Amino acid sequence: MAELNAEFRGYRSPLSTRYASKEMQYLFSDQHKFSTWRKLWILLAKAEKALGLDISEAQIAEMEKHVEDIDFKAAAAEEALTRHDVMAHVHVFAKQCPLAAPIIHLGATSCFVGDNTDLLVLKDALDQLLPKLVGVIKQLAHFAMQYRELPTLGFTHLQPAQLTTVGKRCSLWIQDLLMDERALRACRDNLRFRGVKGTTGTQASFLQLFAGDGAKVRQLDQTVTRLAGFERYYAVTGQTYSRKVDLEIVSALASLGATVHKMCSDLRLLASRKELEEPFEQTQIGSSAMPYKRNPMRSERCCALARHLITLQANAANTLATQWLERTLDDSANRRLTLSEAFLSADACLLTLLNISQGLVVYPKVIERNIAQELPFMSTENVIMAMVKAGGDRQVCHEKIRVLSHEAGAQVKQHGKDNDLVERIRADPYFAPILGQLSRILDPKTFTGRAAEQVVEFVTEEVNPVVALYADRVVTKSAQLNI
């Protein structure tokens, strides 16, 4: 039994067992990491061969044959002896490739494989996140357009304020997500390769390999960069690429986390008012003790993961701040946690948010009832203006409305009754000249300004061009979510 349950006897990250996608998990897996190291050693050998070093096609072919078949137990045993992860894998790879052993890692330092692999992973991870983010934006844009005209109470200071529309409120969420897309796309577009720089970034070892030919060393840097799928490399590095790169990316991810938290907090508030709900499955249980409950568990999960994501920005900032001179190794353990968890958390947030955005449920009758409780107070200025146009005295009308409003307010606050201001106005003979206009004066759609037009303009001018950038790469469906 102990053997059967062995996988459950040690720590397992919830990000890998419950939340993040398999595709994102693979990018941060040992298999992907160490096979990428081997691919980089092959690219280095190919470029060195092309520039005249004594490396044979047979050596390269031998390495290519063993890219994926990594002996993790042997590597762990080697690392226990050498206390060096890169050299452990060099030794294991060399045993698998005896012909190529003399030229594996030729001229390179550990950061050639370590940092360049990280940059490849960061690029691929951003390429995975962006279509999911745009998928959320696209789904929410459909929602915003669908409900662009539906009036709802606006809130300032969490107190009822001037009306907006359900679609206009959604456009505020989308606008923040568009800013996140822009920031993450900039990170992706600005990302470069570390390239072939040597121990402290001076390329001294490669200059020795090529007998002082600096042009060949530069060409080697360019060739390996191109073979790895990058257009540019960082012109100068220490032993590592600057950890400012990590900070920029994690900061953009943390900013996305703040956006997600804000939006999902709004959804939770609206759910408590029964105006809007996230998807709720037929067999889903909201509470073990209260069967009637429909808790916004997806939004709550997003908020929980987003808070963790937001905190990781400080790790990246402190890692950059404490890198002495050409580098120190106190970045390593921290980055293994921070970079992976930042992307896995962001991935999990977007997967969940995509699921939410696909099935948001609106309850117009509840929204209408909530408006009815507040709109009479908000419409008093319109009532006064209508009476003035009908020949009334503004000051007299103002006093009448003030008294009736206080009476209606007492019914709501002291007796828990509905707002009856409209009924009081209808019952007062003073307002007889405008009773025929009262329904129009109190029509919620007359209080939403240009909200509906703003949504159309926003989606047309701001959202659609961004969605078009991703064409058929946009992710618009999410799989069944684990709790």
Say whether 239 sits in a helix, a strand or coil.
coil
Please check the confidence at residue 293 and state whether its pLDDT lies above 60: no
Q: Which of 366-370, 427-431, 436-440, 474-478 has the highest mean pLDDT?
A: 366-370
pLDDT tens-digit profile of 148-166? 999 999 999 998 888 999 9
With contact defined as beta carbons under 8 Å apart, do 217 and 203 qualify?
Answer: yes
Confidence of residue 285 (pLDDT cuts 50, 70, 90): very low
Interhelix angle 332-358/244-272, rounded to 10 degrees, is 30
Tell me 51's DSSP state: T
pLDDT tens-digit profile of 243-263? 999 999 999 999 999 999 999
439 with 406, same domain: the answer is yes
148 with 245, same domain: the answer is yes
Which tokens hold the place of 146? 């669908």
Task: Choose between 380 and 296: higher pLDDT.
Answer: 296
Domain membership flag for residue 120: yes
Quote the CA–CA distance of 54 and 37 in Å, as a whole number. Answer: 21
Helix (H) / strand (E) element for 50: namely: helix 30-50
Which tokens hold the place of 117? 């692999």
Please check the confidence at residue 480 and state whether its pLDDT lies above 70: no
Interhelix angle 380-389/364-378, rounded to 10 degrees, is 60
Query: What pLDDT, on a 0 to 100 scale, did the predictor assign at position 291?
Result: 42
Quote the CA–CA distance of 441 and 451 in Å, as a whole number. Answer: 18
Domain membership flag for residue 359: yes
Task: Name the domain count of the chain.
Answer: 3
Task: Choose between 107 and 1: higher pLDDT.
Answer: 107
Please check the confidence at residue 126 and state whether its pLDDT lies above 80: yes
Q: What is the CATH number of the domain that holds 176?
A: 1.20.200.10
33 with 87, same domain: the answer is yes
Task: Choose between 204 and 377: higher pLDDT.
Answer: 204
Q: Which residue reads 């096609």 in tokens? A: 57
Domain membership flag for residue 214: no
Residues forming the active site = 157, 287
48 with 140, same domain: the answer is no
Q: What is the CATH number of the domain that holds 59?
A: 1.10.275.10
Q: Which domain holds residue 397?
A: 366-446
88 with 48, same domain: the answer is yes
Indicate the average pLDDT of the chain: 91
With contact defined as beta carbons under 8 Å apart, do 366 and 421 qualify?
Answer: no
33 with 146, same domain: the answer is no
35 with 73, same domain: the answer is yes
The CA-to-CA distance between both ends of the chain, in Å, stands at: 27
Q: How many CA atoms are closer than 13 Å to the CA of 196, on its beta-carbon side?
A: 30
Domain membership flag for residue 303: yes
Domain boundary among 74, 96, 118: 96
pLDDT > 90 fraction of the chain, expressed in percent and rounded: 71
250 with 326, same domain: the answer is yes
273 with 376, same domain: the answer is no
Query: What pLDDT, on a 0 to 100 scale, did the predictor assign at position 3?
Result: 63
Say whether 152 sits in a helix, a strand or coil.
strand
Q: What share of the chain is helix, strand, coil (3-state, %, to 5)?
A: 70, 5, 30
Domain membership flag for residue 142: yes
Query: What pLDDT, on a 0 to 100 scale, did the predictor assign at position 2?
Result: 56
Q: Which of 79-93, 275-289, 468-482 has the highest mean pLDDT?
A: 79-93
Q: What is the CATH number of the domain that holds 413?
A: 1.10.40.30
With contact defined as beta carbons under 8 Å apart, do 225 and 232 qualify?
Answer: yes
375 Cβ partners below 8 Å, 6+ apart? Answer: 163, 442, 444, 447
Please check the confidence at residue 461 and state whether its pLDDT lies above 80: yes
226 Cβ partners below 8 Å, 6+ apart? Answer: none
Q: How far is CA 68 from CA 3, 63, 64, 295, in A?
A: 27, 10, 9, 45
321 with 416, same domain: the answer is no
Domain membership flag for residue 474: no
Helix (H) / strand (E) element for 161: namely: strand 159-165
436 Cβ partners below 8 Å, 6+ apart? Answer: none
Confidence of residue 289 (pLDDT cuts 50, 70, 90): very low
223 C-beta neighbours (distance < 10 Å), count: 20
Task: Choose between 419 and 214: higher pLDDT.
Answer: 214
With contact defined as beta carbons under 8 Å apart, do 349 and 309 qualify?
Answer: yes
273 C-beta neighbours (distance < 10 Å), count: 14
Domain boundary among 96, 123, 152: 96
Which tokens hold the place of 439? 């329904």
Which tokens hold the place of 427? 């019952």
Query: What pLDDT, on a 0 to 100 scale, did the predictor assign at position 280?
Result: 67
Q: Which residue reads 């397992």 in tokens? A: 12
Domain boundary among 53, 71, 96: 96
143 with 257, same domain: the answer is yes
Domain membership flag for residue 270: yes
Query: What pLDDT, on a 0 to 100 scale, did the predictor assign at position 13?
Result: 87
What's the average model confidence in pLDDT over 20-36? 94
275 with 421, same domain: the answer is no
- By mean pLDDT, which of 28-42, 368-382, 395-409 is the weakest? 368-382
For the entire predicted model, the pTM comes to 0.89
pLDDT tens-digit profile of 304-316? 999 999 999 999 9
Quote the CA–CA distance of 315 and 334 in Å, as a whole number. Answer: 7
Query: What pLDDT, on a 0 to 100 scale, did the predictor assign at position 472?
Result: 84
Please check the confidence at residue 281 and state whether its pLDDT lies above 70: no
Domain membership flag for residue 452: no
- By mean pLDDT, which of 60-69, 216-225, 366-375, 431-440 is the weakest? 431-440
